[in-house]
Amino acid sequence: MYWEQTVQSAVETDIGLRRKNNEDSSCAYHCPEEVAWRKTGHLFVVCDGMGGHAVGELASRLAVETVTHTFLKSSQSDPAKSLHQAIVAANQVVHSKGSQNADFHQMGTTCTTLALTSRGAIVGHIGDSRAYRLRRDRIDQLTFDHSLEWEFERKHGNLDGIVNLAQHRNVITRSLGPDSLIDVDIEGPIPILPGDTFLLCSDGLSNQVDDPEIGAILRELPPKQAARLLVHLANIRGGPDNSTVVIARVGDLPANVAPSNVEIEEDDDRFQLGWGWLLGYWAAAMFLVAGIAMLMFNKQVQGAVTTGLSVIGLVALIIGTVRQRRSQVVHTPDESHTRIFRPHRTAVSLPSKDLFERLATIDSELQRSAREDGWDVSWNDHGKSVTAAEEAAKDRRYGKAVREIAKAVCLIMDALPRKGTAKIAGD
Ligand code: CA
């Protein structure tokens, strides 16, 4: 992508209806200057902490802070490596905090990160929070869930109807914090097209709202409204967990802006010869010239010895150089667990009659509760949206119908009395 392409983002987090703490943390960082952006990229993070009480909250907050700080200060020119280093650094911070006292023993967090860079989108990930990309009418899950369910399926194939792992949905197989060493998935760089919309979320959202719904809502609504509706939907369906959504939509390149050249910088770890080696080559070359000169001036013995020795020296230097280069390549850590991009799951996500009717049912159930309990809703605006939605649905314009009914649902949910005992639809 180009620096000139704007990125519209939105962050929404909610404690849910069952938990006492919000253990999710997140951030959306937009580089303010082009030079900084070329080096790193815009950064988006979602972490879902675990460990109970305030421990999970601390783990996810430490992870977001460390990832952001380390990534933005990195001296690497490859943002994929910077992202990997940042997640490893966050693991060290959370792990050492977790080792400090017994109360922090179970401390851990998921960590899903997205960098929008000049090379493309790069995803760094551990745990079962998710990163999605919406492109036109398709939603792709860019991350692999490190959960028992997904790992089991990867190993044994699709076990639908044979083994039911749904009750173990929350068991995660990899996370940041419990171990001193971690295995991080890096995906990408993934080419970015204008209009691509990325979404990161915690499982509090993805367990309640399915991929086609997430995609259709993301497609039809601006990021801020989409994020709000998604979090509301998680709560409407019981809100058993904290839910967090971070959305980043990449805009078009403005028509009056000529794109600057995208420079792909060389890697820092390219092979370089030290001064000692260069001096060796220079000395061997000098001896070779001297030897040849002696041969030309009839000093056959001295010339042959000097030339022979310099040739042996040059061969030894070349062998040494090749060996050193190999050892550098071998010792470069393979920091990118997965560099070839392929979505892990994909679904068609279009606004449909079915989605409209689902939202309309939610709206009418919410309406009943809200009117009975006297919630402070702007009923005039609500009525206008419902009418517009119904008219659009009659004309089979389901995009407009979904947008309008979404507005109506949000108007009611924004007025939900959170500390009261109000019953909500689906609860
Ligand atoms: Ca969670």
Name the token pair of 392. 């659009």
325-340: string of b/e by CB count within 10 Å (b at 16+)?
Answer: eeeeeeeeeebbeeee
**Which residue range(s) make up the domain with 365?**
351-414
Q: Classify the phi-psi angles of 320: left when phi > 0, otherwise alpha if psi is within -120 to 50, otherwise beta.
A: alpha
80 plus 161 within the same structural domain: yes
Pair 173, 148: CB distance under 8 Å: yes
Mean pLDDT, residues 60-65: 98
Cα distance between residue 254 and residue 265, in whole Å = 25
175 plus 305 within the same structural domain: no
How many C-beta atoms surround the C-beta of residue 211 within 10 A? 18
89 plus 154 within the same structural domain: yes
186 plus 238 within the same structural domain: yes
User: Which 3 state secondary structure label does DSSP give 126?
Assistant: strand
Express each pLDDT in 365-418 by its tens digit.
999 999 999 999 999 999 999 999 999 999 999 999 999 999 999 999 999 887
Ligand 1 centroid – CA 270 distance (Å): 41
29: β partners: 43
- Tell whether 82 is covered by a domain: yes
Ligand 1 centroid – CA 389 distance (Å): 33
Pair 347, 96: CB distance under 8 Å: no
Ligand 1 centroid – CA 200 distance (Å): 13
- Tell whether 419 is covered by a domain: no
Ligand 1 centroid – CA 13 distance (Å): 12
Ligand 1 centroid – CA 398 distance (Å): 32
Ligand 1 centroid – CA 68 distance (Å): 21
pLDDT at 299 over 80: yes
Ligand 1 centroid – CA 129 distance (Å): 8
296 plus 218 within the same structural domain: no
pLDDT value for 270:
53
Q: How many domains does the chain have?
A: 3
Ligand 1 centroid – CA 328 distance (Å): 41
41 plus 122 within the same structural domain: yes
pLDDT at 262 over 80: no
Ligand 1 centroid – CA 269 distance (Å): 38
- Tell whether 284 is covered by a domain: yes
How do strand 138-141 and strand 345-348 relate by DSSP bridges?
antiparallel
Ligand 1 centroid – CA 126 distance (Å): 14
- Tell whether 363 is covered by a domain: yes
Name the token pair of 90. 């966050």
Ligand 1 centroid – CA 212 distance (Å): 21
232 plus 379 within the same structural domain: no
- Stated pTM of the model: 0.79
19 plus 91 within the same structural domain: yes
DSSP letter, residue 267: P
Please name which of 2, 50, 42 lies closest in space to residue 22, comparing C-alpha atoms.
Answer: 50
For the chain, give the longest Cα–Cα distance.
114
Ligand 1 centroid – CA 39 distance (Å): 32
pLDDT at 251 over 70: yes
Ligand 1 centroid – CA 204 distance (Å): 5
126 plus 19 within the same structural domain: yes
Cα distance between residue 225 and residue 197, in whole Å = 14
Express each pLDDT in 116-140 by its tens digit.
999 999 999 999 999 999 999 999 9
- Tell whether 127 is covered by a domain: yes
- Tell whether 356 is covered by a domain: yes
Which segments of 52-129 does DSSP mark as H helices, in order?
A: 53-73, 79-98
User: Which 3 state secondary structure label does DSSP give 264?
Assistant: coil
150 plus 296 within the same structural domain: no
CATH number of the domain where residue 104 is located: 3.60.40.10
- Tell whether 369 is covered by a domain: yes
Ligand 1 centroid – CA 50 distance (Å): 8
- Tell whether 334 is covered by a domain: no
